C-alpha cells in the first residue's frame, strides 16, 4: 500500500508520536518542580492511542508503507500489551520514592517514544525497519536504566547495557547483512520466497545468519548466552524501569522473533493453518529448543542464590523468557497462541510483583529478601498479594500463571515427540522455581516478629497492586475471555501480498 | 595488475593494519588515531563497491564526528597518560583457537554461499536513487529515524548534564 | 536498485567511469598530501646532524620551563557539544539525497523533510532550553551593569584537577 493511503492504518502510532511531541514541548515549558505533570500527558496520550487502536480492527495482514510494516491482529494484541505495560509503569513511577526529587519530564517522554519503537518491532516486515525499531527500544532502555545519574549503580547499569547492546546489535547487523547478501532484498515476505528457492548450498550461511540474528533478538528478550547484562541492569535501574524492561521490550522481542522466524523459515502456510512445515536444512528449531532449555535452567538455578528481590525477579524473568521461548520452535498456531497468552499473563504478575517491591521499598526501605521478614503479618495487604504474584509466577493452580504454563506445555506435547524432552525440562524448572518463589512467601510469613501495623499503601499504589492481582487470579479461574481474544488475533499470513 | 587493483590492495592493507593497531596498541590515543585510518580505509572500500554516497557519509560522520567524539571521550578521562589499557591477555591459547575457528568458519562460509548476484554495472548516480528510496520506498524508516535521533539527542544531553 | 557484490574477483573496472575518476582525484590529493609531509621529514632525518644535549631535548629551548604533562583533562562541555553535533551531522547527511530528488517529488518530499526536520528541531529546542548549549558557565564576581544579575556557579570542589586548564590547550 502506498505511503499516503497507509496513514489511516497508522493512526495509533501517530497518536504515540503526537504524545511524544506534546510531552517534549510540555517538558520544555514546565519548571523542574512541575515536570512530573508530563506523566499525566503521557497517560492521556496512551489512552487516546489505545482508543484508536481499539477502533482499528484489521481482519488480515495488510502491508503498509510499501511493505515496511504490517497491520494485523497479531501486532494489534502486542500493541495493547505495550500500551498497557507503559500505562502501568508510568503510574508506578509516579508513586515511586526513587524518582522523587529527580526531574522526570524526559523520563515519561522517553517512555512514550519507547512505545513507538516496540509497536514497530511487533509489526515490521523489513530488515531495515526491524533494525531501526530495535535500536529505538535499545537506546531508550539505556537512557532509562541510567536515569538516576546521582547513583553509581544506575550509571553502571546503563554502561553495561550500552556495551552489551552495541555488541549484540553489531552481531545482529552482520546476520541481517548475510540474509541480504543471499537474497538481495530487505523485505521479509520476499526474503522467505527467495530463501526457499536457494537450495542446500545456502544452509551454512543461513545457519550462521540465524545464530547472529538470535544474538540481537536474544539480547532484547534476555535469553541465556546473551543475558549477562540482565541482573546488573535490573538491579541498578530505577525499579519501575526494571519492571518495564522485564516486560515490555521482552514482549516486543518475542513478537519480532515469532514473526521473523515464522515468516522466514516457515514454508508458505499462513499462521492459522493447522499443519506447518519448517524449512529443511537450517536447524533453527534445534537452536531455539536448546536455547530455551538452557535459558530457563540457568535463570532458575541462579535465581535460587539471589538475596535482592530485584535480582531475584531479574533472574526469574530470564527463566520466564525461557518458558516463552519453548513455544517458538513448535511452529504451530497452538505454540504462538500459548506464547501470546503467557506474555499477557506474565505482564500482570511481573508488574504486580515489581509494584509490590516498590511499595515495600517505599515503606520499609529494603530490597533484601531476608528483610522482608514478618511483612506478611505487619501488612496483610502486601503479604497476601505478594503471595498471589509468587504463586502465579511459579504456576500454581488457581492462578493465571498456571493456565499460561499449561497452554505452553500442551503446545509442546501436541507439537510432536521431538518436543517431549523440552517439556520435561520445563516442568523440572517449574519445580525449581517453586523453591525460590516460596522462599519469599516463607520469609514474609514465617520469619521475624509478628507485630502488626496493618499498613495499607496509599491510593494509587494500592490500586496498581490490586489491578495487577485481580487478573492474576481471575484468569486462573476463568480464562476463556482472554483465550478467545488471543485466539482471534492469531492471523498473520506468511504470504502477505 | 591494473592501477585500481594496486590501490585496492593498498587501501585494504591500510585498513587491516590500522585496525590491528587499534586493537593491540597499549596507548589509547594511538588507538584512536589508528582508528582514523581504519575508518578512512573502509570509506575507500565503499568506493570500490561503487557506494560513493556511503563513502562520503562514512567520512563525514565517522571520521568527522564519531572519531572526534572518541578522542574527546579519551581526553575526558582523568590522568589519561597513566592509564594502562590493555591488560595482559588471559587464556591466549583457547582464545586464539576460537578466533581462528570463527575466522576459518566465516571464510569458508563466504566462499561457499550462493550469493545473490547482479551484473556489475556501475551506477550513473547513486545519490538520486538513494534519495528516491528514502523519500518513497523507505519513507517510514526515514521518519522513524528522526524519532531515534531525537531520543538519542535527549539521552546524550540528559546523561552528560551535570547532576545538581 | 541492488548493487551486487562479487566476492571472488573485483568487478570489471573501466577506468574512464566517473566514480573512480572522481574518487581517484581525491585519492591523488591525499597521496600528494602524505608525500608532502613525509618527504621533508625523511629528508631532514637523513640530512640533519644529530647531537643531542639536554638543552636541545627540552620542549622550549629557550624561555618557558615545562610543567606537568601535555595531556589535560577536557571539560565535559566539549563532549556534550560533540554529541549534539553528531546528531545534526547525521541529519545533514539525509538532506543531500533529499535535495537531489526534491524537484522530482515536489511537495511530497518537502512535507516529509519538514516532518523530519521538525522532530529534530524539537531536539534542538530541548538542548537549548536545558542550557546544554551554553558554553561559559562562570560569572563575574561583584558584577556591575549588565553583569549584575550573574551569580557565581562554582566548579565542583571535589574535582582534583584544576578546571579551567582546558581552555588554554
Q: Any CB–CB contact under 8 A between B92 and chain C?
A: no
Residues of chain A in contact with residue C4, where contact means CB-CB under 8 angstroms, are: 184
pLDDT tops 70 at residue C159: no
Q: Determine whether the interchain pair C129/A28 forms a contact, defined as Cβ–Cβ distance below 8 Å.
A: yes
Q: How many CB pairs under 8 A join A and C?
A: 14
Q: What are phi and psi of A196, to 5 degrees?
A: -70, -15
Q: How many CB pairs under 8 A join B and C?
A: 181
Of C2, C119, C129, the CB nearest to A184: C2
| pLDDT at residue C152 is higher than 60 | no
What's the pLDDT at B1?
Answer: 56
Answer whether residue C142 shows pLDDT above 60: no
**Neighbour subunits, C (≥3 Cβ pairs < 8 A):** A, B
Count of A-B CB contacts under 8 Å: 99
Q: Is the dihedral angle over the CA atoms B47, B50, B53, B54 positive or is it negative?
A: negative
Q: How would residue C150 be classed by pLDDT, with cut points 50, 70 and 90?
A: low
- Report residue A93: phi and psi, to 5°: -65, -35
Among all chains, which residue has been given the C-alpha cell 547525521? C90
Of A99-103, A150-154, A376-380, A492-496, which has the strongest mean pLDDT?
A: A150-154
Place A248 in a pLDDT band, splitting at 50, 70 and 90. very high
Pairwise CA distance, residues C166 & C78, whole Å: 10
Q: Which chains touch A (3 or more CB pairs under 8 A)?
A: B, C
Least CB–CB distance from C87: residue in B4, B75, B152:
B152
Which residues on A lie below 8 Å from B162 (Cβ)?
A: none
Q: What is the pLDDT of residues A258-317, one digit of tens each?
A: 888 888 876 555 554 444 455 566 777 888 899 999 999 999 999 998 889 988 998 899
- Please tell me the predicted confidence (pLDDT) of residue A274: 45
Please name every residue paired with A187 in a beta bridge, in sequence order, or none if there are none.
Answer: A126
Domain coordinates of chain A in residue numbers?
Answer: 12-488
- Residue A300: what are its φ and ψ, rounded to 5°? -70, -45
In the predicted model, is pLDDT for residue B142 greater than 70? Answer: yes
pLDDT at B114: 87
Interface of A with B in 48-77 (CB under 8 A): 65-66, 68-69
Instruction: Supply the pLDDT for residue A149.
Output: 87
Q: How far away is chain B from the Cα of A77, in angstroms, using its nearest Cα?
A: 22
Reference A79, options A15, A144, A18; nearest CA is: A15
Closest by alpha carbon to A457, among A447, A467, A444?
A467
**Highest mean pLDDT of the ranges A182-191, A338-347, A358-367:** A338-347
Q: Name the grid cell of B82.
A: 597513566
Contact C126 A181 (CB under 8 A): no
- C-alpha A284/C-alpha A288 separation (Å) is 6
Out of B61, B110, B111, name the one closest to residue C89 (CB).
Answer: B61
- A199 within 8 A of A280, measured Cβ to Cβ: no
- Beta carbons of A185 and C2 less than 8 Å apart: yes
C119 to chain A, any CB pair closer than 8 A? The answer is: yes
pLDDT tens track for C68-82: 766 667 777 788 888
Which pLDDT band holds residue A383 (cuts at 50, 70, 90)?
confident
- Least CB-CB distance to C112: which of B61, B111, B135? B135
- The C-alpha cell that represents A467 in the structure block: 489491578
Q: Give which of A2, A10, A24, A155 to mutate to test C binding, by max C Cβ within 10 Å.
A: A24
How many domains, in total, are found in chain B?
A: 2
Beta A62-64 vs A69-71: how paired, if at all?
antiparallel
Summarised one tens digit per residue, pLDDT across range B68-98 is: 888 888 887 766 666 665 566 778 889 999 9
Q: What pLDDT is attached to residue C168?
A: 40
- Mutation for testing the C interface, residue in B81, B117, B134 having most C CBs under 10 Å: B134
Quote the mean pLDDT of chain A.
87
Q: Please give the share of chain A, as a percent, with pLDDT higher than 90.
A: 47
Q: Which residue of C has its CA nearest to A26?
A: C126
CB contact under 8 A, A24 and C5: no
Residue A122 with chain B: CB contacts under 8 Å: none
The domain C76-159 having CATH identifier 1.20.58: the answer here is yes
Q: If we measure between CA atoms, which residue out of A136, A90, A132, A313 comes closest to residue A222? A: A313
Q: Give me the pLDDT at residue A190, please.
A: 86
C-alpha cell of residue A249: 521490550
CATH number of the domain to which B62 belongs: 1.20.120.1200
φ and ψ at A278, to 5 degrees?
-90, 155
Domain with B132, as residue range(s), is 122-164
> Residue C22's pLDDT is what?
78
pLDDT tens track for A101-112: 888 889 999 999
Distance CA B47, CA C24 (A): 10
Q: Both B12 and B81 in a single domain?
A: yes
Residue B13 forms part of a structural domain: yes
C98 or C16, greater pLDDT? C98
Residue A313 Cα distances to A344, A350, A429, B60, angstroms: 17, 8, 15, 44
- pLDDT, residue A496, reads 38
Answer yes or no: do A139 and B145 touch at CB < 8 A: no
| Shortest distance, CA A238 to any CA of chain C (angstroms) | 23
- CA torsion angle for A345, A349, A351, A354 (degrees, to 10)? -160
pLDDT of residue B124: 73
A182 and A206 Cβ atoms separated by less than 8 Å: yes
Q: Answer whether B149 sits within 8 Å of C120, measured CB to CB.
A: yes
Euclidean distance between CA atoms A427 and C29, whole angstroms: 68
ipTM score here?
Answer: 0.90
User: How does pLDDT run across A302-352, given as a tens digit for each residue?
Assistant: 999 888 998 899 889 999 999 999 988 887 778 888 999 999 999 999 999
In chain B, what residues touch A201 (CB-CB under 8 Å)?
112-114
- Choose among A120, A143, A183: nearest Cβ to B158: A143
What kind and span of H or E run contains A64? strand A62-64
Report the chain A residue with the minimal C-alpha distance to residue C126: A28
Task: Identify whether B93 is part of a domain.
Answer: no
Predicted confidence (pLDDT) at residue C146 exceeds the cutoff of 60: no
Residues of chain A in contact with residue B145, where contact means CB-CB under 8 angstroms, are: 132
B73 plus B136 within the same structural domain = no
Q: How far is A373 from chain C (nearest CA, A)?
A: 40
Which parts of A305-399 fold into alpha helices (H)?
309-326, 333-364, 375-378, 380-394
**Which among B64, B67, B87 is positioned nearest to B75, based on CA atoms?**
B67
The answer to whether C156 contacts chain A (CB < 8 Å) is no
Q: Rounded CA gap, A449 and A375, in Å? A: 9
Is residue B73 located within the same domain as residue B138?
A: no
What whole-number distance in Å separates Cα of residue A400 and Cα of residue C84?
A: 47
Give the closest residue to A6 by CA, choosing from A49, A61, A70.
A70
Quote the minimal CA–CA distance from B151 to chain A in Å.
Answer: 7
pLDDT of residue A201: 78
Question: Cβ–Cβ of A205/B112 closer than 8 Å?
Answer: yes
Same domain flag for B139 and B68: no
pLDDT in tens, B12-39: 999 999 999 998 887 788 889 999 999 9
Q: Is the pLDDT of residue A493 over 80?
A: no
Question: Minimal CA–CA distance to C17: which of B8, B130, B120, B131?
Answer: B120
Domain contains B5: yes
Task: Please write the tens of the pLDDT for every residue from A119-173.
Answer: 999 999 999 999 999 999 999 999 999 999 888 889 999 999 999 999 999 999 9
Task: Specify the pLDDT at position A41.
Answer: 95
Do the chains contact at A24 and C129, CB–CB below 8 Å?
no
Residue A272: the pLDDT is 47
> Residues B126, B82: one domain?
no
Which is higher by pLDDT, A447 or A392?
A: A392
> pLDDT > 70: what percent of chain A?
95
Q: Which of A352, A223, A373, A244 is nearest to A298 (CA)?
A: A223
Q: Which of B115, B130, B136 sits opposite C7 (nearest CB)?
A: B115
**Comparing C-alpha atoms, which of C91, C77, C93 is closest to residue C163?**
C77
Q: Give me A398's grid cell.
A: 488457581
List of chain C residues whose C-beta atoms are within 8 Å of the C-beta of residue A21: 119, 122
Name the residue in chain B with its Cα closest to that of A124.
B141
Percent of chain C with pLDDT over 90: 25
Instruction: Give the best-scoring range by mean pLDDT among A79-88, A432-441, C94-103.
Output: A79-88
Mutation choice for C interface testing from A4, A16, A25 by most C CBs within 10 A = A25
Amino acid at each position: 500500500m502506498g505511503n499516503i493511503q497507509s496513514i489511516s492504518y497508522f493512526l495509533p502510532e501517530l497518536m504515540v508520536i503526537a504524545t511524544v511531541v506534546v510531552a517534549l514541548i510540555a517538558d520544555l515549558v514546565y519548571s523542574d518542580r512541575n515536570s512530573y505533570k508530563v506523566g499525566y500527558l503521557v497517560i492521556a496520550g496512551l489512552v487516546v492511542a489505545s482508543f484508536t487502536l481499539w477502533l482499528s480492527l484489521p481482519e488480515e495482514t495488510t502491508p503498509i508503507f510499501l511493505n515496511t510494516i504490517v497491520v494485523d491482529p497479531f501486532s494489534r494484541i502486542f500493541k495493547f500489551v505495550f500500551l498497557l505495560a507503559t500505562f502501568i509503569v508510568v503510574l508506578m513511577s509516579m508513586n515511586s520514592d526513587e524518582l522523587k526529587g529527580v526531574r522526570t519530564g524526559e523520563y515519561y517522554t522517553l517512555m512514550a517514544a519507547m512505545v513507538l519503537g516496540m509497536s514497530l518491532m511487533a509489526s515490521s516486515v523489513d530488515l531495515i525497519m526491524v533494525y531501526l525499531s530495535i535500536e529505538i527500544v535499545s537506546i531508550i532502555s539505556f537512557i532509562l536504566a541510567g536515569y538516576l545519574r546521582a547513583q553509581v549503580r544506575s550509571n553502571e547499569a546503563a554502561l553495561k547495557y550500552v556495551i552489551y547492546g552495541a555488541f549484540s546489535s553489531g552481531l545482529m547487523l552482520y546476520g541481517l547483512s548475510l540474509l541480504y547478501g543471499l537474497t538481495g532484498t530487505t523485505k521479509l515476505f520476499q526474503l522467505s520466497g527467495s530463501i526457499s528457492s536457494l537450495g542446500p548450498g545456502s544452509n551454512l550461511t543461513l545457519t550462521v545468519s540465524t545464530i547472529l540474528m538470535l544474538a540481537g533478538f536474544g539480547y532484547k528478550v534476555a535469553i541465556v548466552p546473551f543475558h549477562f547484562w540482565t541482573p546488573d541492569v535490573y538491579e541498578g535501574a530505577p525499579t519501575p524501569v526494571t519492571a518495564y524492561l522485564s516486560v515490555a521490550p521482552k514482549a516486543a522481542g518475542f513478537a519480532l522473533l515469532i514473526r521473523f522466524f515464522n515468516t522466514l523459515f516457515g514454508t508458505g502456510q499462513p499462521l492459522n493453518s493447522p499443519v506447518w512445515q519448517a524449512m529443511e536444512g537450517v536447524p533453527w528449531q534445534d537452536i531455539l529448543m536448546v536455547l530455551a532449555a538452557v535459558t530457563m535452567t540457568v535463570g532458575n538455578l541462579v535465581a535460587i542464590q539471589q538475596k535482592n528481590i530485584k535480582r531475584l525477579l531479574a533472574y526469574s524473568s530470564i527463566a520466564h523468557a525461557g518458558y516463552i521461548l519453548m513455544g517458538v520452535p513448535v511452529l504451530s498456531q497452538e505454540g504462538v497462541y500459548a506464547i501470546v497468552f503467557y506474555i499477557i499473563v506474565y505482564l500482570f504478575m511481573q508488574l504486580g510483583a515489581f509494584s509490590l517491591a516498590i511499595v515495600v521499598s517505599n515503606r520499609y526501605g529494603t530490597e533484601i529478601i531476608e528483610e522482608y521478614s514478618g511483612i506478611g503479618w505487619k501488612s496483610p495487604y502486601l503479604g497476601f498479594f505478594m503471595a498471589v504474584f509468587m504463586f502465579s509466577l511459579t504456576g500454581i493452580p488457581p492462578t493465571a500463571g498456571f493456565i499460561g504454563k499449561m497452554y505452553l506445555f500442551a503446545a509442546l506435547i501436541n507439537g510432536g515427540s521431538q518436543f517431549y524432552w523440552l517439556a520435561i525440562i520445563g516442568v523440572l524448572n517449574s519445580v525449581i522455581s517453586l523453591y525460590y518463589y516460596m522462599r519469599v512467601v516463607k520469609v514474609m510469613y514465617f520469619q521475624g516478629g509478628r507485630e502488626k501495623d496493618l499498613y495499607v499503601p496509599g491510593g494509587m499504589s494500592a490500586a496498581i497492586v490490586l489491578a495487577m492481582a485481580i487478573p492474576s487470579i481471575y484468569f486462573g479461574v476463568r480464562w476463556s475471555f482472554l483465550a478467545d481474544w488471543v485466539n482471534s488475533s492469531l492471523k498473520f499470513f506468511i504470504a502477505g501480498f | 595488475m591494473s592501477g585500481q587493483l594496486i590501490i585496492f590492495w593498498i587501501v585494504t592493507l591500510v585498513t587491516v593494519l590500522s585496525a590491528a593497531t587499534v586493537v593491540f596498541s597499549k596507548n589509547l590515543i594511538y588507538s584512536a588515531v589508528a582508528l582514523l585510518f581504519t575508518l578512512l580505509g573502509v570509506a575507500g572500500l565503499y568506493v570500490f563497491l561503487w557506494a560513493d554516497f556511503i563513502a562520503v557519509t562514512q567520512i563525514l560522520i565517522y571520521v568527522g564526528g564519531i572519531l572526534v567524539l572518541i578522542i574527546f571521550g579519551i581526553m575526558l578521562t582523568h590522568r589519561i597518560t597513566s592509564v594502562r589499557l590493555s591488560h595482559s591477555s588471559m587464556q591466549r591459547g583457547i582464545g586464539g583457537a576460537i578466533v581462528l575457528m570463527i575466522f576459518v568458519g566465516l571464510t569458508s562460509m563466504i566462499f561457499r554461499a550462493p550469493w545473490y548476484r547482479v551484473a556489475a554495472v556501475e551506477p550513473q548516480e547513486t545519490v538520486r536513487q538513494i534519495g528516491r528510496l528514502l523519500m518513497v520506498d523507505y519513507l517510514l524508516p526515514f521518519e522513524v529515524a528522526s524519532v531515534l535521533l531525537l531520543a538519542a539527542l535527549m539521552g546524550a544531553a540528559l546523561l552528560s548534564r551535570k547532576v545538581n | 536498485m541492488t548493487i551486487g557484490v562479487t566476492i571472488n574477483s573485483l568487478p570489471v573496472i573501466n577506468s574512464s567511469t566517473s566514480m573512480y575518476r572522481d574518487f581517484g582525484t581525491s585519492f591523488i590529493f591525499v597521496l600528494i598530501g602524505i608525500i608532502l609531509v613525509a618527504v621533508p621529514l625523511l629528508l631532514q632525518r637523513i640530512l640533519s646532524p644529530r647531537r643531542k644535549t639536554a638543552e636541545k631535548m627540552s620542549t622550549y629551548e629557550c624561555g618557558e620551563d615545562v610543567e606537568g604533562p601535555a595531556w589535560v583533562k577536557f571539560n565535559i562541555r566539549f563532549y556534550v557539544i560533540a554529541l549534539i553535533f553528531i546528531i545534526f551531522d547525521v541529519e545533514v547527511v539525509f538532506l543531500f539525497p533529499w535535495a537531489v530528488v526534491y524537484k522530482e517529488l515536489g511537495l511530497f518530499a518537502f512535507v516529509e523533510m519538514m516532518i523530519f526536520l521538525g522532530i529534530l528541531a524539537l531536539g534542538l529546542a530541548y538542548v537549548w532550553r536545558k542550557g546544554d548549549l551554553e558554553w561559559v558557565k562562570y560569572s563575574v564576581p561583584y558584577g556591575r551593569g549588565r553583569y549584575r544579575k550573574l551569580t557565581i556557579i562554582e566548579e565542583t570542589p571535589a574535582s582534583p584537577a584544576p578546571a579551567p586548564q582546558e581552555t588554554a590547550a
